[in-house]
């Protein structure tokens, strides 16, 4: 903590306060700066796990990989574990996160009991539902523009050693969404409990729901950290396919191949995969390759050399109400040449209050649609991303702000807190030492 505060005091008064951290899961470019950032090197630990209270006290820059490693020996897990190992607790709370438990456990910030936040004024402020409640409620989706969490206390839930999986194929998106709705509403399917739920769409007539049930029953398990690839294991001709994973491997099933994005680096080619070191089959390493590409413009140089236009990055997660999901996915499949796409239902927890910077309706099911690739550039900067933003807004949805955004200031304020955000910002960052959310998310400052 002392290193953090000392690094804050070392930043010139006229300079913006930023983090200095070794990893990131953001796809937004930002302006380069030579001003040193906040030293968060001492904020990476799991402080305590209380198995009786089912809570964990965690430093803000602790990764979920380290947190899960500390909780699983107690048979406990965070209520929602975002899919990538190097996502931090502070990042998931200030930037949102989602996973296949979100249909019953909501979003990561809903399991936070209290936070200590370094604000723009250089103060460490405790935020709970009852103490500095305005900051507590506005912090999710603020992306470090209201402060940085340095300590969090979160709820945990009991988990069993294994997850039994059912991969159900659908030839109709309507039927898939109807089945998803039934599972969310009842907590099960065909009389069996469902603990985890997500899905993958390969095309309009090939889509899957992946149902997971925790179990203590011993038995053989699959391994998708080697030559086999998890998302390919989902596919089958019809009906159901069954599988089993350890709870550890289930929580990180998407990380080995960054969902399916490792194919862009050749890592899914069997001839390459056999020589690809296992320790580099993880999202954090693929992210380093992306960083090199962005730094040296490698992909666009290759496109130009082959006589093709440069490409627009389309890396987004959006949420639309469940009843508008088929409409969005149909539009996307007709309009954007990207596949597969990920589906993950979510519902805010019944006990939660409002979250003004990401105002989705309580007691209503939404579906996260994730798509991560690139398309040929269009007639203007961000052409395809702008099409997607307009479609999401037309369907009463929202999109996450971890990647490129192109909203006007007026539309952005309407979607992401507006006057409420400004009020909290003035209270906890009166001298504007931290970036404004619009400047950070849209102007890429």
Written as one string, the DSSP assignment of 94-149 is HH----TTHHHH--GGGGEEEEEEE-TTS-EEEE-SSSSHHHHHH-TT-TTSS-EE
Q: What is residue 187's DSSP assignment?
A: S
Joined tokens for residue 165: 């999986």
Q: What is residue 256's DSSP assignment?
A: T
Residue pair 163/214 in contact (Cβ under 8 Å)? The answer is yes
Q: According to the model, what pLDDT value does residue 28 have?
A: 56
Q: Mean pLDDT across the chain, nearest whole number?
A: 91
- Whether residue 441 has pLDDT greater than 70: yes
**Exposed / middle / buried, residue 204 (Cβ in 10 Å: 0-12, 13-18, 19+):** middle
Q: According to the model, what pLDDT value does residue 26 have?
A: 63
- Whether residue 143 has pLDDT greater than 70: yes
Q: What residue ranges of the chain are covered by domains with CATH 3.30.70?
A: 162-253
pLDDT above 70 covers a percentage of the chain that reads 92
Q: According to the model, what pLDDT value does residue 130 have?
A: 95
Average pLDDT over residues 230-248: 95
Q: According to the model, what pLDDT value does residue 365 have?
A: 96
pLDDT band per the 50, 70, 90 thresholds, residue 268: very high
- Whether residue 51 has pLDDT greater than 60: yes
Q: According to the model, what pLDDT value does residue 288 have?
A: 86
On the question of a cis peptide bond just before residue 340, with omega within 30 degrees of 0, the verdict is: yes
| pTM of full prediction above 0.85 | yes
Which residues fall within 8 angstroms of residue 336, CB to CB, at 6 or more apart? 314, 371, 375, 384, 387, 388
**Exposed / middle / buried, residue 239 (Cβ in 10 Å: 0-12, 13-18, 19+):** exposed
* Residue 409 CA neighbour count, 13 Å, CB half: 5
Residue pair 108/64 in contact (Cβ under 8 Å)? The answer is no
Task: With residue 441 as reference, give the H or E element that holds it.
Answer: helix 437-441
Q: From 95, 136, 97, 96, select the one nearest 115 (Cα to Cα).
A: 136
Q: What residue ranges of the chain are covered by domains with CATH 3.30.465.10?
A: 2-159+418-441
Joined tokens for residue 316: 């987004």
Average pLDDT over residues 305-314: 82
- Whether residue 298 has pLDDT greater than 80: no
CA separation for the pair 234, 239 (Å, rounded): 12
- Whether residue 4 has pLDDT greater than 90: no
- Whether residue 27 has pLDDT greater than 80: no
- Whether residue 211 has pLDDT greater than 90: yes
Average pLDDT over residues 391-413: 95
On the question of a cis peptide bond just before residue 373, with omega within 30 degrees of 0, the verdict is: no
Helices (H), 148-241: 173-186, 230-234
| 417: helix, strand or coil | coil
Average pLDDT over residues 205-233: 97
Q: What is residue 443's DSSP assignment?
A: S
Fold assignment, 162-253: Alpha-Beta Plaits (3.30.70)
Q: According to the model, what pLDDT value does residue 41 have?
A: 77
pLDDT band per the 50, 70, 90 thresholds, residue 110: very high
Q: According to the model, what pLDDT value does residue 159 have?
A: 98
Task: With residue 39 as reference, give the H or E element that holds it.
Answer: strand 38-39
Domain 2-159+418-441 - what CATH class? Answer: alpha beta
């Amino acid at each position: 903590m002392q290193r953090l505060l000392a690094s804050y005091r070392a930043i010139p008064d006229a300079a913006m306060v930023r983090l200095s951290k070794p990893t990131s899961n953001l796809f937004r470019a930002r302006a380069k700066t030579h001003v040193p950032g906040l030293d968060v090197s001492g904020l990476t630990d799991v402080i305590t796990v209380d198995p009786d209270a089912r809570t964990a006290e965690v430093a803000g820059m602790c990764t979920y990989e380290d947190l899960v490693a500390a909780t699983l020996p107690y048979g406990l897990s965070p209520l929602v574990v975002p899919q990538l190992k190097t996502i931090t607790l502070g990042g998931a709370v200030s930037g949102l996160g989602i996973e296949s438990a979100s249909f019953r456990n909501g979003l990561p910030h809903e399991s936070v009991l209290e936070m200590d936040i370094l604000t723009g004024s250089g103060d460490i402020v405790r935020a709970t539902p009852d103490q500095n409640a305005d900051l507590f409620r506005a912090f999710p989706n603020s992306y470090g523009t209201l402060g940085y969490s340095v300590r969090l206390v979160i709820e945990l839930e009991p988990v069993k050693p294994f997850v039994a999986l059912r991969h159900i194929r659908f030839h109709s998106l309507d039927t898939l969404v109807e089945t998803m709705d039934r599972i969310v509403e009842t907590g099960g399917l065909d009389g069996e409990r469902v603990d985890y739920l997500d899905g993958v769409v390969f095309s309009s007539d090939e889509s899957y729901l992946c149902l997971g049930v925790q179990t203590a029953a011993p038995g053989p398990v699959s391994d998708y950290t080697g030559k086999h690839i998890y998302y390919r294991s989902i596919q089958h001709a019809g009906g159901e396919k069954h599988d089993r994973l350890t709870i550890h491997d289930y929580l990180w099933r998407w990380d080995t191949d960054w969902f399916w994005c490792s194919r862009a680096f050749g890592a899914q080619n069997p001839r390459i995969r056999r020589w690809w070191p296992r320790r580099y089959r993880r999202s954090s390493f693929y992210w380093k390759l992306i960083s090199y590409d962005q730094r040296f413009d490698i992909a666009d140089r290759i496109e130009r050399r082959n006589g093709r236009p440069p490409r627009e990055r389309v890396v987004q997660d959006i949420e639309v109400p469940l009843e508008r999901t088929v409409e969005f996915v149909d539009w996307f499949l007709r309009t954007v040449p990207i596949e597969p796409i990920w589906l993950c239902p979510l519902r805010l927890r019944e006990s939660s209050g409002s979250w003004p910077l990401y105002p989705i309706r309580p007691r209503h099911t939404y579906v996260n649609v994730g798509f991560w690739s690139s398309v040929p550039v269009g007639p203007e900067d961000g052409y395809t991303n702008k099409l997607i933003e307009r479609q999401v807004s037309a369907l009463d949805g929202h999109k996450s702000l971890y990647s490129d955004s192109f909203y006007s200031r007026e539309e952005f304020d309407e979607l992401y807190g507006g006057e409420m955000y400004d009020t909290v910002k003035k209270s906890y960052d009166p001298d504007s030492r931290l970036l404004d959310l619009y400047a950070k998310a849209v102007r890429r400052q």
